[in-house]
């Protein structure tokens, strides 16, 4: 992906809030989501975040201010889900981004500014839904640091499975339980086998965890039986979001042999409202490589472009806000921070792997990256890693509490952003969810 004028760090919008330092949504970002005014029964429709506002794409489409491919793309986005927009492909996505960029620039034509003004809704006044009708959700497992950290809990002698360095491994998750950020969920019930016990017990999860992940949404996709070569993979990726793969570790570790995660994972998966497009992320692409003394990708997972810029440098952090944080009105505690650049496989490799047997990916499908843990302890993306399998108390400095796993009333907040000298800072907003008590106690 080449850089172009929409990445110009000096570009400014006529909307003052978009130019504020530290703003997640400057004119260089323009992420897509689905929204309506909160508390109304308006239909959900596509929108783009700019500053502290949302551009209503249904209103933009109706205004007639766009033409050509950009108008076609806005029309496709003026619906309760973005599947039709994602199906249009990169040329239409680019046309709409570039048209909105031109209309939002500080020097845009006065009639265009006037038309766009009428399409703005304050972000503080909207609610979101999951941005696409997700036909299928697949979760990968592509952080070697997370795999080793969790592997040590399950298999101390042999933490890394032999396939990890050869295959971007994954499991098929549940699309039905993917929820939008802000949706609370009840602590799940399930079966767990305590160490040394002779029989499992059934009850509320006692080792509830989050997983810091990113997700990416499939664009046009492939016909059944037709693989997607790695050289074409990114043409099928619309953009990225924040994703929390809530996990019941006690249920998961008992149930997952030999077929993999099931009920320990599928009670809730949270996604952020905004999808940051691959074009917006272009300034933050970084090289990808496996260490020279480790297995190198097989040819179908290897390309010069993927090696040159297959990675994405997204800064990520995990915050925990307990009931006590809220009662004391203190800021949440930061549990960890890392970057997506440390992942062992790239999003292009994940998508190509998913389709290499001819499995058909469809517009709006959601692929998760797996937990994102960096190389050091402080960069762990799940509480099971930070608490060393529940054996270490994690201090919450702001309230004096400690945690080994999540407690009822805990809200986990994921944040992501990209920042470097010479490029505009862009953000993902946040992905949050609160743990409610188990139903029936
Ligand atoms: Ca996961």
Q: Give residue 173 CA to ligand 1 midpoint distance, Å.
A: 9
Look at residue 282 and tell me if it is in a domain.
yes
333 and 316 share one domain: yes
pLDDT of residue 90: 98
For the stretch 184-229, pLDDT in tens is 999 999 999 998 999 999 999 999 999 999 999 999 999 999 999 9
In a domain, 14, yes or no: yes
Identify whether residues 229 and 325 lie together within a single domain: yes
How many angstroms separate the alpha carbon of residue 389 from the centre of ligand 1? 16
Q: Are residues 242 and 320 in the same domain?
A: yes
Calculate how far, in angstroms, residue 376's C-alpha sits from the geometric centre of ligand 1: 19
Domain presence at residue 104: yes
* Cβ contact 401:324 at 8 Å: yes
Residue 94 DSSP SS3: helix
What element of type H or E holds 34? strand 32-37
Tell me the C-alpha distance between 418 and 408, whole Å: 32
Give the distance (Å) from ligand 1 centre to CA of residue 213. 7
Which of 109, 129, 149 terminates a domain? The answer is: 129
Asked if 150 and 280 sit in the same domain, the reply is yes
Measure 385 CA to ligand 1 centroid, in angstroms.
13
Note down the domain range covering 33. Answer: 5-129
Could you give phi then psi for residue 430, rounded to 5 degrees? Answer: -140, 165
Residue 441 covered by a domain: no
CA distance 154 to 376: 20
> In terms of domains, do 368 and 425 share one?
yes
Whether 90 and 167 map to the same domain: the answer is no
For residues 205 and 112, state if they share a domain: no
Task: Give me the active site residues, please.
Answer: 146
CA of 112 relative to ligand 1 center, distance in Å: 44
Q: Ligand 1: distance of its center to the CA of 370 in Å?
A: 4
Please state the domain count of the chain.
2
Exposure string for 372-384, b = 16+ CB within 10 A, e = fewer: bbbeeeebbbbbb
* pTM for the full predicted model: 0.97
For residue 310, which of 168, 204, 213, 157 has the smallest C-alpha distance? 168
CATH code of residue 44: 2.30.30.230
Contact of 431 with 244, CB cutoff 8 Å:
yes
Can you give the pLDDT at residue 275? 99
Shortest CA distance to 234 belongs to which of 161, 172, 145, 311? 311
Residues 176 and 113 in one domain: no
For ligand 1, the distance from its centroid to the CA atom of residue 81, given in whole angstroms, is 24
Q: 3-class DSSP state for residue 73?
A: helix
pLDDT for the residue numbered 406: 98
First-last CA distance in the chain: 51
Q: What is the pLDDT of residue 21?
A: 95
Residue 57 CA to ligand 1 center (angstroms) comes to: 32
CB-based burial label for 133 (10 Å; 0-12, 13-18, 19+) = middle
**Which residues of the chain have a pLDDT value below 70?**
441
Domain boundary among 129, 153, 188: 129
Domain closes at, from 81, 99, 129: 129
Residues 116 and 141 in one domain: no
CATH number at residue 218: 3.90.850.10
């Amino acid at each position: 992906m080449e850089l172009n004028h929409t990445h110009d760090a000096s570009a400014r919008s006529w909307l003052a809030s978009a130019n504020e330092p530290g703003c997640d949504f400057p004119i260089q970002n323009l992420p897509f989501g689905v929204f309506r005014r909160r508390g109304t029964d308006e239909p959900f429709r596509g929108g783009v975040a700019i500053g502290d506002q949302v551009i209503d794409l249904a209103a933009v489409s109706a205004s007639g201010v766009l033409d050509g491919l950009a108008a076609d793309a806005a029309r496709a986005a003026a619906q309760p889900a973005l599947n039709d927009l994602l199906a249009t492909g990169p040329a239409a996505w680019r046309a709409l981004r570039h048209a909105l960029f031109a209309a939002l620039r500080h020097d845009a034509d006065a009639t265009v500014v006037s038309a766009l003004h009428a399409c703005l809704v304050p972000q503080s006044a909207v609610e979101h839904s999951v941005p696409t009708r997700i036909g299928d959700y697949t979760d990968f497992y592509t952080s070697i640091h997370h795999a080793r950290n969790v592997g040590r809990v399950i298999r101390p002698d042999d933490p890394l499975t032999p396939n990890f360095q050869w295959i971007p491994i994954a499991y098929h998750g549940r699309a039905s339980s993917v929820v939008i950020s802000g949706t609370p969920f009840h602590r799940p019930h399930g079966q767990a086998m305590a160490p040394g016990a002779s029989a499992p017990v059934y009850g509320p999860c006692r080792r509830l965890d989050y997983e810091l992940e990113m997700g990416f949404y499939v664009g046009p996709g492939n016909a059944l039986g037709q693989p997607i070569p790695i050289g074409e993979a990114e043409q099928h990726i619309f953009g990225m979001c924040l994703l929390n793969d809530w996990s019941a570790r006690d249920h998961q570790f008992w149930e997952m042999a030999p077929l993999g995660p099931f009920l320990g994972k599928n009670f809730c998966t949270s996604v952020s409202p905004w999808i940051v497009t691959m074009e917006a992320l272009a300034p933050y692409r970084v090289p990808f490589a496996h260490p020279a003394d480790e297995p190198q990708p097989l040819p179908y997972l290897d390309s010069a472009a993927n090696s040159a810029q297959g990675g994405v440098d997204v800064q990520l952090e995990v915050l925990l806000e307990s009931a006590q944080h809220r009662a004391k009105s203190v800021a949440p505690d930061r549990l960890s921070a890392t970057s997506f650049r440390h992942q062992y496989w790239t999003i292009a490799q994940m998508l190509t792997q998913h389709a290499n047997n001819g499995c058909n990916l469809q517009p709006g499908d959601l692929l998760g990256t797996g937990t994102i843990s960096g190389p050091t302890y402080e960069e762990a993306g799940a509480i099971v890693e930070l608490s060393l399998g529940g054996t270490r108390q994690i201090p919450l400095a702001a309230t004096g509490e400690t945690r080994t796993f999540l407690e009822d009333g805990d809200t986990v907040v994921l944040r992501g952003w990209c920042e470097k000298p010479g490029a505009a800072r862009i953000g993902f907003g946040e992905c949050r969810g609160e743990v409610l008590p188990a139903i029936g106690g």
